[in-house]
Amino acid sequence: MALSLWVDGLVVRSQRGRAILEIDRFTSEPGIRLGIRGPSGAGKSTFLHVLAGLLPRVEGSVRWGEHALTGRGAAGGDAARTGFRRAHIGMVFQDFLLFEELGAAANASIAASYAPAGERAAIRDRAEELLARLGIEPGQARTVRSFSGGERQRVAIARALAHDPAIILADEPTASLDRAAADRLIADLADLARATGKTLIAVSHDAALHRRMDRVIDIADGRLQRDEPVHA
């Protein structure tokens, strides 16, 4: 299920009340590959966390399709946001956040542990299919402790997509990788998003990643500065 994004009057404040992110209005169509760039501390990751429903106590409205995470229409509190995130969002982090003692397939299918019984087999099957597509042998016995950075990040991508989310949110996904591994990861992530019709929103300093996006926005000093299509 593809979901459009609507942001209206968004303000995120620090504990002392200072506005650290202000976006008057922002919309994005479903199925787009969107890059977010800007200097460190500009508010990029904060924006991504808002879109994931991880920062609920903000001003303004954030809505995915008919699902309001904040503002008017939002209901159900933290439980509803967690449920929406579990059903519709896959997250890829810079630091992988894998279970070192588990293998690739067990890490990639971790969502099956929290899913209803009737969905678990499909999640495990999808995780193994994604691993194979990303060049990771799902049946191997070794744990991810011995994996390279590029292998770890591909396992993290499979984990993010195993429950078939409509939205992929990635926070500096190539920052821990060397150039060759980063380029492979970018191709994998961008191609998977396009092939499956998922929305991909990636925060990154990596110009190579932004060149594979459909659209790139710049955030600086907590504000949206520029919004442009990418011309391949």
178 in any annotated domain: yes
User: Quick check: helix, strand or coil at residue 200?
Assistant: strand
Torsion of CA 170, 141, 115, 164, to 10 degrees: 40
Q: What's residue 115's pLDDT?
A: 87
CATH number at residue 43: 3.40.50.300
For residue 142, the one-letter residue type is R
User: Quick check: helix, strand or coil at residue 39?
Assistant: coil
pLDDT higher than 90, residue 23: yes
**Residue 139: pLDDT band by 50, 70, 90 thresholds?**
confident
pLDDT higher than 80, residue 228: no
Cα–Cα distance measured from residue 52 to residue 187, given in angstroms and rounded to the nearest whole number: 23
70 in any annotated domain: no
Per-residue DSSP letter, 115: S
Q: What are the residues whose beta carbons fall under 8 Å from the beta carbon of 134, sequence distance 6 or more?
A: 154, 157, 158, 188
Cα–Cα distance measured from residue 139 to residue 70, given in angstroms and rounded to the nearest whole number: 42
Mean pLDDT, rounded, for 46-61: 91
115 in any annotated domain: yes
181 in any annotated domain: yes
The residue range of the domain holding 34 is 30-54+76-229
Token pair belonging to 52: 């994931």
Cα–Cα distance measured from residue 203 to residue 217, given in angstroms and rounded to the nearest whole number: 10
Which comes out higher in pLDDT, residue 145 or 176?
145
Nearest to 209 by CA among 50, 30, 44, 85: 44
Provide the domain count of the chain.
1
How many other CB atoms sit within 10 Å of the CB of residue 52? Answer: 21
Range ranked top by mean pLDDT from 75-84, 131-140, 220-229: 131-140
99 in any annotated domain: yes
Mean pLDDT, rounded, for 101-105: 95
Mean pLDDT, rounded, for 110-117: 90
63 in any annotated domain: no
Mean pLDDT, rounded, for 57-63: 91
Q: What are the residues whose beta carbons fall under 8 Å from the beta carbon of 182, sequence distance 6 or more?
A: 150, 174, 206, 208, 209
Mean pLDDT lowest among 74-83, 88-97, 128-137, 174-183: 74-83
User: What is this structure's pTM?
Assistant: 0.90
Q: What's residue 72's pLDDT?
A: 65
28 and 5 in contact (C-beta within 8 Å)? yes
Counting residues of the chain whose pLDDT is more than 90, the rounded percentage is 65
**Residue 155: pLDDT band by 50, 70, 90 thresholds?**
very high
- DSSP-H helix ranges across 89-199: 104-108, 117-133, 149-161, 179-196
pLDDT higher than 60, residue 84: yes
8 in any annotated domain: no
171 and 203 in contact (C-beta within 8 Å)? yes
pLDDT higher than 70, residue 34: yes
59 in any annotated domain: no
Q: What's residue 73's pLDDT?
A: 61
Q: What's residue 19's pLDDT?
A: 93
Q: What's residue 231's pLDDT?
A: 56
